[in-house]
Structure 1
Amino acid sequence: MKYAIRRRIMRANPLPKGKDSTAATKTTNAVDKRSLLNPEQAAAILDWIRRRPRGGKRLHAFFATLYYCGPRPEEAVAMRVEDVTLPKPELLIHTATPEVGKQWTDTGEIHEQRDLKGRAEGETRTVPGHPALTRILRQHIEDEQLNPGDLLFQGESGGVLAGSVIRRAWRSARKAVMPPHVFESPTGRRVYDNRNTRLTKWPNDGIPPAQVADWAGNSVAVLLATYARCIEGQLPDLNRRLEAAGDLPERQSTG
């Protein structure tokens, strides 16, 4: 309204007095603690996906990578076999392939290759895995007969794994293994909640925020603002440190 008045398109602001504030409603990017998966829930979902008749083992390897290493889904679908170091395992994240729609790409493809979110052009990051993921990825690469330059996670036709397939498989698995009231809750509702669960677990296991932020591809400030409400279990240790740091040396009394 103010802009229109300045440009003399309107003579006056028709809104009632006090209604012309430009302050936006406050929002938060903090993760809802209810969306996080516990180990039993994650194991049940991954096992159901693994036993899925159509493409189950392939999708199981994909979701296991999200759960154990916490990459963004668009980063995981862009990975090549050569980006995985075994037997550590260790993942090299250097490209993202988000699903943006045919109308928004120059090539007419659904996916578009981009640099990592929030990082300089060409920047990479390395993320450690878990021994369980070593077994899963090694078997996946062998079963799919993949070569170093191949996409690590492929669709049925060999191209980029489609987001619709990923979301449909995840939703079906949640519905199959979760009680109805849990399925309707925020718990693991999004594929992205695998990443949120991992980026919460690392700090809760005592890994310094700076290291977690580096693995996650975030700044420390973003990491803490997003996951601070989900970090717990460290208060007793912190209290002991505070008590120890506050002690003053005893002085000998002189008679």
Structure 2
Amino acid sequence: MERNSLPVSAWEEPDKVDEVLRALDTLLDGRQAAAWSRKRHRRILNVAMKHAIRRRILRANPLPKGKETTAATKTTNAVDKRSLVNSDQAAALLDWVRRRPRGGKRLHAFFATLYYCGPRPEEAVAMRVEDVTLPDPDSRDQWCELLIHTATPEVGKQWTDTGKIHEERDLKGRAEGETRTVPGHPALTRILRRHIEDEGLRPGDLLFQGEKGSVLAGSVIRRAWRSARQAVLLAHVFASPTGKRVYDIRHTRLTKWLNDGIPPAQVADWAGNSVPVLLATYARCVDGQLPDLKRRLEAAGDLPERPDVG
């Protein structure tokens, strides 16, 4: 590494700094990286520069500041409305997954949980059977309840202390040990009850397992979802952002809750977001409420008419 690395004095050359920044902003195929990736790469490099200054390796941060670094990497958290799937598309996609010969029913239960309850995929794969509260079959109320308390994101063997692909973590953006509960539609109750029975799962088992009982692999999830989209959607829809990522199923559910009139504070609680983040992310996707808003504004009345004064 020492033999193939430039000396630290290279950071004093503006041309070298510009070359590094261009590399950070560019993919291996020469295309520009996504805005979020560019912003994250520069943030990480700035952390390295601050560390070098503290260790007295550098005298000052050589990276340009102000608009020069932020204008090109302006980003937004807002969800692209085109990425959402409608109810007909969701039904067709889930049905195709269910009929998939290899692990179809297991994956169907997983995707149905994302669609009806909106957990993050890494939260869903971490759930255990004991985290699902199913109502008595004879009860009139057939809503189930999911307890979400852990996430197991897929980070790669080289990045975990255990050498495993997944790493167990607390919920994103929440205090250590914090949990949340989400109600599950009666349709999901039927799916999960059947899934648990068919798989012969016990309370301590993972709710959604890989073929050998391990954590359901992200590659399997993504491959099944892509195959479903390709089989069900029209060619131009498949090529569009509609449901392109598995995460778009969560976006669809949270948007549907908001469009159905569920208070944002309640949606944020179920989703594991803060209200400001929720509104900033999904405000552009909320629709169907304009007629009601117009009626409210009209009911509020107009300015009173005043007689003409001669």
CA distance in 1, matches of 2:166, 2:176: 19
> Structure 2 vs 1, CA of residues 182 and 122 (structure 1 numbering), >3 Å: closer, same or farther?
same
Aligned to 1:56: 104
Structure 2 spans left out of the alignment, 5+ residues: 1-8, 19-63, 136-142, 306-310
CA distance in 1, matches of 2:81, 2:93: 19
The alignment status of 1:72 with 2:127, answered yes or no, reads no
Helix, strand or coil: the match of 1:91? strand
Aligned to 1:3: none
Aligned to 1:34: 82
Q: After the TM superposition, which residues 99-114 of structure 1 pair with which residues of structure 2 at under 5 Å, given as runs?
A: 99-114=154-169
The alignment status of 1:170 with 2:225, answered yes or no, reads yes
After superposing the two structures, state which structure 1 stretch, 234-243 or 172-181, moved more: 234-243
Helix, strand or coil: the match of 1:123? coil
TM-score in terms of structure 1 length:
0.89
TM-score in terms of structure 2 length:
0.74
The alignment status of 1:120 with 2:167, answered yes or no, reads no
Aligned to 1:47: 95
| Larger RCO (alpha carbons 8 Å, 6+ apart) | 1
Q: Percent identity?
A: 83
Q: 1:86 aligns with which of 134, 147, 166?
A: 134
CA distance in 1, matches of 2:195, 2:304: 60
Helix, strand or coil: the match of 2:69? coil
**Cα RMSD for the two superposed structures:** 2.1
CA distance in 2, matches of 1:9, 1:169: 46
Q: Aligned AA for 2:78?
A: A
Q: How far has the Cα of 1:99 moved from its partner? A: 0.2
Q: How far has the Cα of 1:9 moved from its partner? A: 6.2
Q: After the TM superposition, which residues 1-255 of structure 1 pair with which residues of structure 2 at under 5 Å, given as runs?
A: 10=12, 13=14, 21-24=68-71, 25-87=73-135, 88-245=143-300
Q: Aligned AA for 2:80?
A: D
CA distance in 1, matches of 2:191, 2:300: 45
Q: Aligned AA for 2:97?
A: I
CA distance in 2, matches of 1:13, 1:218: 41
CA distance in 1, matches of 2:99, 2:69: 53
Structure 1 spans left out of the alignment, 5+ residues: 1-6, 251-255
Moved over 6 A (4+): 247-250
